Chains A and B, each alone.
Chain A
Amino acid sequence: MKTTTQSKWIILLFLAPSLLGFIVFSLIPIVSALYLSFTSWDVIGGAPEFIGLKNYASILFSAEFYRVILNTLKYISLYIPGIIVSSLFVAIMFDRDIKGIGLFRVLLFIPVLTSWVAGSIIWRSVLSGQYGLMNNLLAIVNIDGPSWLTDKSWAMIAIVMVSIWKDLGFFSLILFGGLRGIDRSIYEAARIDGASSLKVITRITLPLLTPTLFFVLITTLVNSFQLFPQIMVMTGGGPDGATQVMVERIYTYGFRYFQMGYASALAIILLIIIVTITLIQLVLQKKWVYYE
């Protein structure tokens, strides 16, 4: 079908509302951030001053940047295995016909629907060292719980725990969908051939689930770099910088120190990191993801 010039205008007209929103709220800010990242601008002092790559240089030469990356890697190394194993386990449970599983599914999904800020505020009090619910429960079984959010070695672990609590419902549902998509006749064939249930999981379920796992991996990895509300509410980057992460730094530089240029450069670096990771995964997926 040929589109005439006139119908092009009509298409544009219908696109206009969302296009306008995209331009005003996404495109202009992205382009401005790119420009600001080459400037020094502290908001109160008039127009931004062009300083070239200086922001990028000072980020890459700062101890802080590597601390932030290290913190993020620590989060990733705990969160991703944690979320994948636990949501896979839950998804396999969902897939069995256990009585009352429907109710369990609903309960597990409640944290997903909860706002991050509300959830974090509640967890902050649950994890409070002296008065928190968590340590009082642990005390019943004679465990002396740490001061989760103010102890440097526990703060990131606490953040990971809360993140898994929040995301478990979502990712187990996604994996459950993946499991349901596997053709039942393959299982039947395996059973007839006498395969053990462990073999069925490792040789059939997991390989056929790889497209879904790939989706989960890429989403959780990208989310890990965008970690923010739970940090902001629960620790504010502390104690002593142990939970400082990229987006928290962007916020702190932008709205606490009013260093918009520096904050924008951090945001662009974050963008580059996320795009790179996604590209690497897209290449690597050819090696391990099976599409039927």
Chain B
Amino acid sequence: MIKKIILLLSFVLLMAGCSSTPQVDVKEKETITFLNYSSNGGQEATLTAMVEAFNVAYPDIIVEVETLGYADYFTQLATRVAGGSAPDVFELNIENFRAYADKGAIAKLDTSSVDISQIYPKTLTAFQIAGEQYGLPTKFSNVVLIYNKDLFDQAGVEYPTADWTWEDELAAAEKIRALGDDIYGIFRPIQTWEFYKTVAQNGGSMMNADQTTFTLNSSENVEALSMMVARINDSNVTPNAEQMGGMGDWDLFKSGRLGMIVTGIWAFGDFSANCDFDWDIAVEPGIKVNATHFFSDALVVSSDSKVHDAATKFAAFISGSGEAALLRANANWDLPVALTDEVEAAYMAITPPANKQAVFDSLNHLVMPPSLEYFNMVADELQIYLGKAVSGELTAQEALDQAQASVSSKFSK
């Protein structure tokens, strides 16, 4: 009996001895938690490869990755932040960045100890508040004019160039529209996101310069909205909802019945795979000036994080390192912000479109939505009045007058 007990005890000791070595090791390592949405739906393996590359450079930092779908992401994140269990590093898009920064949920980053020299400067400033860095961008995207070369050839129209305006665009669209009853010239959606960009092209804006009051019904804005609506209801170069018949705008383009579409560069992959005609891109034409969208995602560090330095190192690696950027470019996962020569060459090499230079040229004309904490709410409210202008229920002037009244009464502080 005693023998058995001794045997058992020594066995237990042996087991304890075996496990004690890695335990000590673990204590030296730091663990950070990382919550993201943008790898969801296809880029999970790329993210894993990035984390592995990070661990080659920083073997002592363990990264626990958690990926959620975009639809649930912000509800989950807000709940965790409110419950005091925010992940150390998490992903924010530019639309939500402001709210999290203003509420003190994310930490100011000390970027002196990490390498951010390769990051495209404009994307860095997008995540600064009063000159301080609160987020490190990972990828960005913009919007270009994508056109069906075959339809342009059939209509005998010259391909779009960087100095086209809305007039040139409309002239080409009308000729393409004339090719057939179910062939359309151009698609530009009419919604809040398109609205703030288009009014900027016409010299207007949603708010005054210091963002204290809304200027939705300015004459420039009314003119721009009239032009947007006229393309559906007058020249009909853009199909109305009934003509679309529930079809998506991308599907219409892919079906070969749409001459031009103004949309994000994230369409390239889908269009490359599913268009059986030649297509290319150009810088989006403006009305008086050029203006194109800018979207970006960044990694931020929770203000409650106990491992702030390790978290910052991780964010900086995913954001600014050539390794992570190259992985991203090769996986066709948007445009990395660390635009090294190697990354740029890798990105340019993937065609179509042949004129990828237009993506970089567009970066000279970026506009951003007003950096309001509750831009989503304003966007939804304005959307209702834009819809009324499209349906003809209200004129452009009436729609924007009413939108101005509604939005101002609700969001004035």
Contacts and interface: CB of A to CB of B under 8 A. Distances in A.
B241 to A, nearest CB: 6
Nearest to A129: B246
Contact of B246 (A45, A67, A131): A131
Secondary structure at the B interface, as helix, strand, loop or mixed, is: helix
Interface stretch (A30-38, A146-154, A212-220, A223-231): A146-154
A46 B79 contact: no
Interface string B369-398: 000001011001101101110010000000
Given A46-B104, A61-B409, A147 B376 contact: no
B241 A151 contact: yes
A99 interface: no
A63 interface: yes
A241 interface: yes
Nearest to B100: A44
B406 A63 contact: yes
Contacts of B245: 129-130, 147
A44 B103 contact: yes
B82 interface: yes
A128 interface: yes
Given A147-B241, A241-B384, A45 B103 contact: yes
B384 A257 contact: no
B407 to A, nearest CB: 9
Contacts of A256: 376
B78 interface: yes
Contact of B81 (A43, A62, A128, A147): A43
A58 B82 contact: no
Given A63-B405, A64-B406, A130-B247, A44 B81 contact: yes
Contacts of A45: 102-105
A130 B406 contact: no
A67 B385 CA distance: 12
Categorize the interface residue count of chain A. 20 to 34
B393 to A, nearest CB: 8
Contacts of B113: none
Contact of A64 (B82, B241, B410): B410
A44 B246 contact: no
B99 interface: yes
B242 interface: yes
B184 to A, nearest CB: 16
Nearest to A240: B387
Nearest to A132: B246
Nearest to B402: A63
Interface in A141-174: 147, 150-152
Contacts of B388: 240
Nearest to A149: B246
A255 interface: yes
B75 interface: yes
A258 interface: yes
Contacts of A240: 383-384, 386-388, 391
Contacts of A130: 245-247
A177 interface: no
Interface in B190-248: 241-242, 245-247
Contacts of A150: 241, 246
Contacts of A46: 103-104
B199 to A, nearest CB: 19
A246 B31 CA distance: 44
B242 A42 contact: no
Contacts of A241: 383-384, 387
A239 interface: yes
Interface in A22-63: 42-46, 58, 61-63
Nearest to A128: B246
A258 B73 CA distance: 13
Contacts of A129: 245-246
Contacts of B79: 43
A42 B374 CA distance: 10
A147 B242 contact: yes
A158 B81 CA distance: 39
A257 B409 contact: no
Given A46-B104, A61-B409, A240-B387, A255 B246 contact: no
Contacts of A259: 374, 377
B82 A44 contact: yes
Contacts of A152: 387, 391
Nearest to B377: A257
Contacts of A255: 75
Contacts of B383: 240-241
Contacts of B381: 64
A129 B247 CA distance: 9
A42 B387 contact: no
B384 A258 contact: no
A258 B383 CA distance: 19
A240 B387 CA distance: 6
Nearest to B86: A44
A240 B381 CA distance: 9
A40 to B, nearest CB: 11
**Lowest 7 CB-CB distances: which A-B pairs, in order?**
A240-B387, A45-B103, A130-B246, A129-B246, A241-B384, A130-B245, A63-B406
Interface of B: 75, 78-79, 81-82, 99-100, 102-105, 241-242, 245-247, 374, 376-377, 380-381, 383-384, 386-388, 391, 402, 405-406, 409-410
10 contacts: A44-B78, A44-B81, A44-B105, A46-B103, A63-B405, A240-B387, A240-B388, A255-B75, A258-B99, A259-B374
Given A62-B409, A147-B245, A240-B391, 9 more contacts: A43-B78, A45-B105, A130-B247, A131-B246, A240-B384, A240-B387, A241-B387, A258-B78, A258-B99
Interface of A: 42-46, 58, 61-64, 67, 128-131, 147, 150-152, 239-241, 252, 255-259
